[in-house]
Structure 1
């Protein structure tokens, strides 16, 4: 069977609506694009399995079994995209201009899916390597990463490459995050009775000032060599009922971006210390700290075998040593690393992730595919 070019495959993937319904109510989800990828890979000799314990949110795992005795490598990319509303032009109609392909998901990250699918076929079509080649085309990365979590319940590998867009730069670290709600308690009363009421919104103002001071303190602290320092910001605030009533409560939702060495527990201790000082110094300050979703930061071993192998092939394809970098955003690489699978990120060049216009540089798509194919061939042999 003739294998499509990465650009041809990417165009077909862009045309399939796969908006994450956890982000956009009524979003199409991953069923159609997962079905397409499963059929495409099965037709090329891969053992294909759909994982869908959530129902209607499938991930695809496709395996080319090795001949035995070699190392296994997982290529991981996500099927879902952010929403289509507000996109300039038709987000599901791929178009090429000036060497770039445009469309929702072109950059983030159906380009990575196309590259890893074609690369895996190229690396196995001339004879299977000794180790297994595993493709994980996962659901829900843009929201809760339930797809990679489900894959890791049944599959492992000796290493993994996550094909998130990285501008053809070797990405060895990224930040994590922790979300918290701070619920500040007041006392409801008629607006004419300050002797009875406690203004929860005004009390929250003390916390917001302290949160800004915490952010400044973090910025002055020790910096990770690739990621810099952790950050914190207030994201959402809710409080009050009407103009004539003292608000009984005010809730501040915040996000703390973490670097290696920090996690949800250290952030909770940090916030507890801030809030404890306010409770001791601000009359009537009462609060409740509620942990939310958190994801760990990620850091690869720069001397790990998968890092050295991919970096060597990237240099050969690019004609120069690739840039080594960190990313401020979170990816599924952290889940793979936590499961004991040494990982790194390497993906296309382009722009417009989550933006009104999104594109991938097609030359970078070809280079990514070449690097991945060579990496699979060497690592799994």
Structure 2
């Protein structure tokens, strides 16, 4: 049943249109999930504040008095261009299901859907909520919308983790730094201020910032924070002093760091250049920022999931952190204890992607047992 569902989900094009203009989006796959849950007696809610970008929340109501548990999985994928083979075929070879989104993360999506259905038959006291969300691959607007309407006593995000327990991940903050110069004819160095040359001082300072981060305190699971320049743009033509040079940077953060603390670090660095580099002027525009995540390893959901994983695997699950960002941080910010746990495989965003079929089946069994324990 679960591998059939996985093949169905992979066969539905759900490329995020924010990443690929004209991408199919989540409408067709959200419709499919809503029908699947409806046919199995779930209470089904469709959230669509952004037209054409729906999320589905399916609920199995308990008899009352038990803890509620929400699962989260995203419907969208990255693009299909450049995929090696048919990205929607969901072909099985040597125990692997191949196709775009198998690993990231329709394997986890199928596992949480089937687990909720199996657990629904057990006469639970607590509610089970399954959030199938839009837009995780770009802005996570789907999970944000879900959390404005629903809550739970705990949550599990089913992103792929190779059946290892993820209790922390990094955050990020994006900034645009515009270095200001003065336009003038290329023959008039007495009038012009070269914004691109001034930006060179900033890039050198950025490299030193990265060195300091790497040499500083490290998180036991995540290591150190980091910073890098992402894009650079400036100038008009060869015969004119550039009036501006724009550098976009990304700062990856660890628990204890915030977008505000990063901005303060950045502005201190830039103010140091103002004090030491003649005619250095700048403007900072803050972009998207997402907080890092760290679960309470003593929380009931972490203990419960770890215990059920150990029963299935025959050994305690590996505890890990991730360098990338996930929707776990949004649940944590909403006050919902959360943990990440998902299937095995490889190839997220790559030319070849696959999910390990056996791990998807094991994941569903672990999720079913966790629901039975946590919501009983």
- TM-score interval w.r.t. the shorter chain? over 0.9
Asked if 1:102 is matched to 2:90, the reply is no
Equivalent in 236, 240, 253 of residue 241 of structure 1: 236
In structure 2, the residue matched to 1:43 is: 39
Does residue 310 (structure 1) correspond to residue 309 (structure 2)? The answer is no
Return the match for 1:139 from 130, 134, 137: 134
1:32 aligns with 2:28: yes
The 4+ residue runs of structure 1 with deviation greater than 2 A are none
Q: For each residue in 1:37-56, what CA deviation from the matched residue of structure 2 results, as whole angstroms up to 9, or x when unmatched? A: 00001100100010001111
The count of residues paired between Structure 1 and Structure 2 equals 376
Alignment-derived partner of residue 8 in structure 1: 4
1:163-189 CA-to-partner distances (Å, cap 9, x unmatched) read 000011000000000000000000111
Matches within 5 A, 1:1-381: 5-125=1-121, 127-381=122-376
Q: Could you tell me which runs of 5 or more consecutive residues in structure 1 were left unpaired when the two chains were aligned.
A: none
Partner Cα separation in structure 2 for residue 262 and residue 202 of structure 1: 31
| Partners of 1:192 and 1:372 in 2: CA distance | 70
For normalisation by structure 1, the TM-score amounts to 0.98
8 A contact 1:172–1:324 mirrored in 2: yes
Residues in 2 aligned to 1:240 and 1:352: alpha-carbon distance in whole angstroms: 38
SS in structure 1 at match of 2:139: coil
Contact 1:64 1:128 in 2 (8 A): no
CA–CA distance in 1 between the matches of 2:275 and 2:211?
A: 22
Distance 1:201 1:207 in 2: 10
Structure 2: runs of 5+ lacking an equivalent: none
Q: What's the offset of the Cα at 1:6?
A: 1.4
- Say which SS state the counterpart of residue 207 (structure 2) adopts: helix
* C-alpha separation in 2, matches of 1:25 and 1:266: 34
Does the residue aligned with 1:184 lie in a helix, a strand or coil? strand
Q: Describe the superposition over 1:115-171 as per-residue Cα deviations: whole angstroms up to 9, x where unpaired.
A: 00000111112x330000000000000000000000011100000000000011000
Give the Cα–Cα distance (whole angstroms) in 2 for the partners of residues 333 and 176 of structure 1.
11
SS in 2 for 1:87: coil
TM-score of the pair, normalised by structure 2: 0.99
Deviation readout 1:55-114 (Å, 9 max, x if unpaired)? 110000000000000000001000000000111111111101111000000000011110
Partner Cα separation in structure 1 for residue 123 and residue 12 of structure 2: 31
Question: How well do the aligned residues superpose, as a CA RMSD in angstroms?
Answer: 0.6
